[in-house]
Structure 1
Amino acid sequence: MQKFTTLTGVAAPMRTINVDTDMIIPKQYLKTIKRTGLGKGLFSEMRYKDDGSENPDFVLNKPAYRQAQILIAGDNFGCGSSREHAPWALLDYGIRCVISTSFADIFYNNCFKNGVLPITVSPEDLEKLFEDADRGANATLTIDLENQEIRGPDGGKLKFEIDAFRKHCMMNGLDDIGLTMVKAKAIDDFEKTTAVARPWM
């Protein structure tokens, strides 16, 4: 998993509330277990018209936000059915951080396991971030995970809370497999000791 320390990038404003995982990545894209290639399906029912052409009104199709790495989202983002493809699609598109007032628990947990940082802020702070994001590509945000700060284009700072263990994993690029591999030597030593003590196993 890619480490997350500091990210400076364009933030796309998506004010829609209750964006569920089927809106993030529709069911027809769930046939694969690969983490790559899903970016094309991200928000596809909103990004594209019925004829396959782009919907010019959708935020990620606007020139200022095509390279967005941060998504400022409405309340209760990631609700609905459990699907790990949702953070996979966000990451494959290039979005490394989603900021909202609230997230569905399963989506929130899946983000941390896949290198997408979900940040929860107050409604007042979210509105300020929406205002910053509305200014387009000339107004970038900086997400500083170590100091737990969001820095705006005018120098303003917002603090955010995050679980210490999850912060450690994100900053060190540790998913569940990575956490296991940190203990690889202890696991190898245990296996060797067990093989001698219980050779019949």
Structure 2
Amino acid sequence: MQPFTQHTGIACPLPLSGIDTDQLIPARFMKRSRAEGYGDYLLHDLRFDGNGDPREDFPLNHSDRRGASILVTRRNFGGGSSREAAAYALIDYGIRCVVAPSFGDIFASNSVNNGLLPARVSEEDGERLLAALQGGERDATVDLNAKIIRCGSLDVPFDIEPVWRTKLLNGWDDIDLTKSYTAAIQAFAASDQERRPWMKPNRA
């Protein structure tokens, strides 16, 4: 994965709570191959009407938010089913970071494992960011080293689990994270062999 250290891009306000994974990627689109990309189906039933036409009042459809790579929303983003395709849809659309007061646990883990940053902010700071974006601000910078989101005159702190931060900063998946402890694992194995030589399997 590509390491995530700092990202600047168009930020889109999405002032809704409880957007679940079924809304992020409706199940009927998950029969398609990931190779085709899921970005066109992100939030499909909110972005488009029954005829498949874009809803003019939906934030991601606004002309000044085209190409958005940061999504600012409200609490409990990504709850519901555990489908990893929800993270795929965001990433394939071009989203690098979602900012919210809380996330579904499995969704957040899936996001990190695919290089997407779930930045957790307080309710108050989330509303300040939404107000700034709805008031005309367009761009934001997410600094994972400093754990700060900058938007206009606002500097908003965010939280993320330390191990997730380490994985994102290095572009690691779970296997890469385990490999980072190779020296410690080898040292333990050697020490354990000295203490308990009888534990080593007899392969004769």
Establish whether residue 29 from structure 1 lines up as the match of residue 26 from structure 2: no
Q: Is the 8 A contact 1:35 1:85 kept in 2?
A: no
Indicate the residue corresponding to 1:70 in structure 2: 70
What pairs with 1:33-72 in structure 2 (closer than 5 Å)?
Answer: 34=34, 37-72=37-72
Deviation digits for residues 3-42 of structure 1 (CA, Å, limit 9, x no counterpart): 1110111111111111110100000122246265100110
Structure 2: any 5+ residue segments left out of the alignment? Answer: 190-200
1:176-200 per-residue CA deviation (whole Å, 9 max, x = no partner) reads 243356578999xx9xxxxxx9767
> Does 2:91 match 1:101?
no
Residue 174 of structure 2 corresponds to 176
> Contact conserved, 1:74 with 1:100, CA < 8 A, in 2?
yes
The two structures have a TM-score, normalised by structure 1, of 0.85
Matched with 2:118 is 118
Alignment of 1:120-139 (within 5 A): 120-136=120-136, 139=138
TM-score of the superposed pair, with normalisation by structure 2: 0.84
Aligned to 1:82: 82
- Structure with bigger gyration radius: 2
Cα displacement string for residues 85-137 of structure 1 (whole angstroms, at most 9, x for unaligned residues): 0011100000010111111111111111111100111111001100122145x
User: Which residue does the alignment assign to 2:195?
Assistant: none
Partner of 2:193: none
The gaps in structure 1 that reach 5 residues or longer are 191-196
Aligned to 1:164: 162
Structure 1 runs (4+) deviating above 3 angstroms are: 177-187, 197-200
Q: Give the structure 2 partner of residue 143 of structure 1.
A: 142
Q: Does the CA contact (< 8 Å) of 1:35 and 1:92 recur in 2?
A: no
Q: Is the 8 A contact 1:39 1:90 kept in 2?
A: yes
Identity percentage over the alignment? 41
Q: CA RMSD in A?
A: 2.4
CA distance in 1, matches of 2:152, 2:202: 63
Shift of 1:163: 2.2
Displacement of 1:161 after TM fit? 2.2
Q: Helix, strand or coil: the match of 1:45?
A: helix
For residue 193 of structure 1, what is the aligned residue in structure 2? none
Secondary structure of 1:141's counterpart equals: strand
Question: Measured at CA, do residues 36 and 90 of structure 1 come closer, stay the same or move farther in structure 2, by a change above 3 Å?
Answer: farther
- Mapped partners of 1:169, 1:46: distance in 2: 32
Counterpart amino acid of residue 109 in structure 2: N
CA contact (8 A) 2:5 2:145 kept: yes
Equivalent residue, structure 2, for 1:194: none
Aligned residues: 191
